[in-house]
Amino acid sequence: MSNDIPSEVPPDAEAPAECLSCLKPAELCVCDGVTPIDNRIALLVLQHPQEQDKTLGTARLAALHFTRSDMRIGLSWPSLAKALGRPADPRRWAVLYLGSAKAADLAPGAEVVALDAKGAALADQATALAHLDGVIVLDGTWSQAKALWWRNAWLLKCQRVILGPKRPSRYGRVRTEPRSDSLSTIEAAGLLLGRLEGRPEIAETLDATFQRMLDAFRAARAGQSRPPRPDRRFRPQGRGRGRRRPPPSV
């Protein structure tokens, strides 16, 4: 091998342009409409390395919605602090892990349910869900989430929660969910943080973004995609972590 390998691989002329924020193809990027929400409870998304679905995945898009959010790709981390890259007390964090539990069975009508170590609903839900510093969402298929759960023993120190969504995922027939209470990562993050912070508009905002992404997907699939952007990799206009604008009406 010679030493004159370019430091950057030249773009493949056949590959579609990709957004630098959401890493989606240009025709599926909806970052333009995303304004980071000033969240009190932090979000940490742990993504299984095999889940990186650039077409229909929503983990990165979910994280882009919050000023306090982190996304990590991997299988295991020694501790919550290592995963976050800063000090953190796992007892003040919740982790969303459905497992075999179903909110509809354990606490009918509740959208967020805190479980004990045996998977039963805690008697005092309000106390269990108060004073949380952050929430962890596992991004991947059913078996990938299970792998993340079992490979990170420190997750057992966190408050396990499950969701009881009032309606099924917007994925609909685009991507079949294994259970009626399975949501996309962006829907789950919105519902969880919206409920925990008492701000239903958070869930509405993330749901609206997800709907725009699905609309773009359907339009692209139908061959009605927007004209390609001139740059192969681009940053969407008008958004950035430092900007503060009122959330778009939904």
Q: Which residues bind Zn ion (CB under 5 A)?
A: 19, 21-22, 29, 31
| 8 A C-beta contact, residue 99 and residue 119 | yes
| 8 A C-beta contact, residue 53 and residue 22 | no
Q: How far is the CB of 61 from Zn ion (least distance, A)?
A: 7
Q: How far is the CB of 193 from Zn ion (least distance, A)?
A: 21
Q: How far is the CB of 153 from Zn ion (least distance, A)?
A: 35
State the first-to-last Cα distance of the chain, in angstroms, to the nearest integer.
Answer: 55
Q: How far is the CB of 138 from Zn ion (least distance, A)?
A: 23
Angle, alpha carbons 27-30-33 (nearest 5°)? 145
Nearer to Zn ion, 64 or 163 (CB): 64
Nearer to Zn ion, 62 or 95 (CB): 62
Q: How far is the CB of 23 from Zn ion (least distance, A)?
A: 7
What three-state secondary structure class fits 182? coil
Minimal CB distance residue for Zn ion: 19
Nearer to Zn ion, 6 or 227 (CB): 227
Nearer to Zn ion, 157 or 232 (CB): 232
Q: How far is the CB of 26 from Zn ion (least distance, A)?
A: 8
Cα distances (Å, whole numbers) of residue 224 to 28, 173, 216? 12, 19, 9
Nearer to Zn ion, 23 or 81 (CB): 23
Burial of 177 (C-beta count, 10 Å sphere; 0-12/13-18/19+) = middle
Q: CB neighbours of 148 closer than 8 A, spacing ≥ 6?
A: 46, 48, 75, 76, 138, 140
Nearer to Zn ion, 31 or 44 (CB): 31
Backbone angles phi, psi at 38, to 5 degrees: -80, 85
Q: How far is the CB of 31 from Zn ion (least distance, A)?
A: 3
DSSP letter, residue 17: P
Nearer to Zn ion, 19 or 37 (CB): 19
| Strands in 20-141 per DSSP E | 42-47, 69-73, 93-96, 112-114, 134-139
CA dist., res. 146 & res. 48, Å (int): 10
